[in-house]
Amino acid sequence: MKQQLLTLFVAVGLFMPNLVTASELKLEACFVSGVKSKALCGKLDVAENPALDISEANTLSLNVVVLPKFKEQSKELPMMFLAGGPGQAATELAGMLNNPLTEIRQEHDIILIDQRGTGQSNGLLCDAQEYIDPLVIDSNDVDIEQEVKDCLTSFADHHLPSYNTYQSIEDFEAVRQALGYQKVHIFGGSYGTRAGFAYLKNHPESIQTATLDSNAPMEMIVGFFGKSSERAFDFLVEDCKAHKYCNESYPNLKQDYLNLLAQLEKPITQSMYHPITGKKIDIILTKSKVTETLRTTLYALSSRQLLPYIVNSSAQGDFRPLAALMSQVNSTEHTPGSLYTGLTMNIICNEDMPRAVQSDFSKDANNYFNGELGFTNFTDICKFWPKWQAPADFAEPVTVDVPVLLFSGKYDPVTPPAYGEMADNSLPNSKHVVIKNGSHVASLRMCMDAVKQFMQSGTFESVDFSCADKPVPNLFFTNLNQLH
């Protein structure tokens, strides 16, 4: 969407040399942002609309980056990383992934492919015509139908039904084949798990092992974030009560939150100095903007430690800390990890939301955290988004015998452990590990040694999963000068 709308919501033994040439894909030495060592970059042309022959008018160039293994003598298979979203560009995450994947990269190439519709693979990004500060927008006044129409003009010449999860898997397969690998390991986080499940379903013969963290199994509907957000906020309240200084400072945290929501029944306008520019502005706070900002802050324990202070201050009428948080979370600049929102909506509005029935909406709306806003930030857009039919078997559970390691974070506000259990129930060769002090895609920070052991053994028995029980300090800001 434009800025206004964004505020709402190798076969075993093959060695890959420094210059890889396949029939259609040539990788050349390059540098990518955030990675000091040389990478390999290239493009692979595929048909945008797979029902038609590839041609000048029907070509999509997939953007590919390989982070080569440091031990060139290693015969280990590569890891293909499947980005989240839907709508993240994998190659833009290279700098963020380099450190967590350092040990993996000692012996494994890391393959990053911009999923069609992201990054340099025909990114479906809804560009704003002009800059509008998200702090001053009244989200209640946004004409969503017009915003969708304006967004769609950015890629009116694209065949949107081809920008889907199953077709992205065929793209990944084409890259694997072009690189000459008979099999790969896959690692997916968040929506990357949905891509991983689809890969397992359609091409299990190509996957040696799969590690999937913060799971979105095929049968689950992506886009209901009400009950899961409430659950994560309940954990925050419990942890604050058990924390001496947090409880002393914010003894009524849940009531503070409810008081804040009550104030937001109507938009709040307050004059203050802009937290970034320092200029005097009138900010506009709406329930949609505030709850979505707070929801995204629950994704990581390092950011949720701010929430008791921000909620309490806001409930008492001091919105400066909240405005500072909103200016960061709702940045209008596209940064690494940001979503290509055209792909986000194209997938959710056609692969997920059409499967929902009334009881799904009623159940998710029955929460105190954000009520119907847990899904209306999507459904309000889906009303106007172009429609296409997902495959009939799309929501069928995955039952293949490939070894699959599933991670969940206890505190995850969007893909709680119940979704990992859902996937584990249908997979015959899987293990579900809950990281007790983790939130969203926590294994990247806490359990990569275990992931490497699993990848190289292909079994669970000899893997040390003590990382899932590792203690993490429970810290909270009691004021801007004190972290306990």
- Give the pLDDT score at 330: 64
Task: Identify the CA nearest to 186 among candidates 178, 177, 195.
Answer: 195
What distance, in Å, lies between the first and last C-alpha atoms of the chain?
39
- Give the pLDDT score at 332: 57
Please return the burial class of 217, using the count of CB atoms within 10 Å of its CB with bins 0-12, 13-18 and 19+: buried
Within 180-306, residue ranges assigned H as helices are 191-202, 227-241, 244-249, 253-263, 287-297, 301-304
Q: What is the pLDDT of residues 462-483, one digit of tens each?
A: 999 999 999 998 899 987 777 7
What's the pLDDT band for 130 if we cut at 50, 70, 90? low
Which 3 state secondary structure label does DSSP give 406?
Answer: strand
Which 3 state secondary structure label does DSSP give 82?
Answer: strand
Q: Provide the pairing of β-strand 268-273 with 477-479.
A: unpaired
**Beta strand extents in 348-429 (DSSP E only):** 404-409
Of the listed ranges 22-31, 182-191, 471-480, the least confidently predicted one is 22-31
Of the listed ranges 114-128, 232-246, 337-351, 453-467, the least confidently predicted one is 114-128
The residue-averaged pLDDT of 334-351 equals 92
The residue-averaged pLDDT of 371-377 equals 96
- Give the pLDDT score at 128: 60
The four Cα atoms 421, 426, 429, 430 give a dihedral, to 10 degrees, of -10
Cα angle value 113/116/122 (rounded, 5°): 110
Which 3 state secondary structure label does DSSP give 90?
Answer: helix
Share of the chain above pLDDT 70, in %: 93
Of the listed ranges 120-124, 269-273, 352-356, 381-385, the least confidently predicted one is 269-273
- Give the pLDDT score at 141: 85
Helices then strands (H, E): number in the chain? Answer: 19, 14
Tokens of 345: 């909506």
Which 3 state secondary structure label does DSSP give 3?
Answer: helix
Residues near 393 by Cβ (< 8 Å), separated by ≥ 6? none
Q: What is the pLDDT of residues 4-25, one digit of tens each?
A: 343 333 222 232 333 333 347 9
Residue 371 φ/ψ region, left for φ over 0, alpha for ψ in the -120 to 50 degree band, beta for the rest: left
What's the pLDDT band for 427 if we cut at 50, 70, 90? very high
What's the pLDDT band for 109 if we cut at 50, 70, 90? very high
The residue-averaged pLDDT of 353-382 equals 97
Helix (H) or strand (E) segment spanning residue 375? helix 373-382
> Across the chain, what does the average pLDDT equal?
92
For the cut 90, the answer to whether the pLDDT of residue 393 exceeds it is yes
The residue-averaged pLDDT of 217-240 equals 98
Do residues 366 and 227 touch, judged by C-beta distance below 8 A?
yes
Instruction: For 411-461, give the DSSP string.
Output: T-SSS-HHHHHHHHHH-SSEEEEEETT--TTTHHHH-HHHHHHHHHHS-ST
For the cut 50, the answer to whether the pLDDT of residue 3 exceeds it is no
- Give the pLDDT score at 1: 38
- Give the pLDDT score at 129: 53
For the cut 70, the answer to whether the pLDDT of residue 131 exceeds it is no
Share of the chain above pLDDT 90, in %: 84
Residue ranges of domains in the chain, CATH in brackets: 3-222+394-469 (3.40.50.1820)
For residue 286, how many C-alpha atoms fall within 13 Å in the half-sphere facing its CB? 15
For the cut 50, the answer to whether the pLDDT of residue 186 exceeds it is yes
The residue-averaged pLDDT of 252-277 equals 94
Residues near 358 by Cβ (< 8 Å), separated by ≥ 6? none
Residues near 4 by Cβ (< 8 Å), separated by ≥ 6? 128, 132, 137, 139, 142, 147
Tokens of 243: 């924390």
For the cut 80, the answer to whether the pLDDT of residue 355 exceeds it is yes
In Å, how far from its chain's centre is CA 299? 10
The length of the chain in residues reads: 484
Task: Identify the CA nearest to 406 among candidates 193, 198, 205, 250.
Answer: 193
Q: What is the pLDDT of residues 432-472, one digit of tens each?
A: 999 999 999 999 999 999 999 999 999 999 999 999 999 99
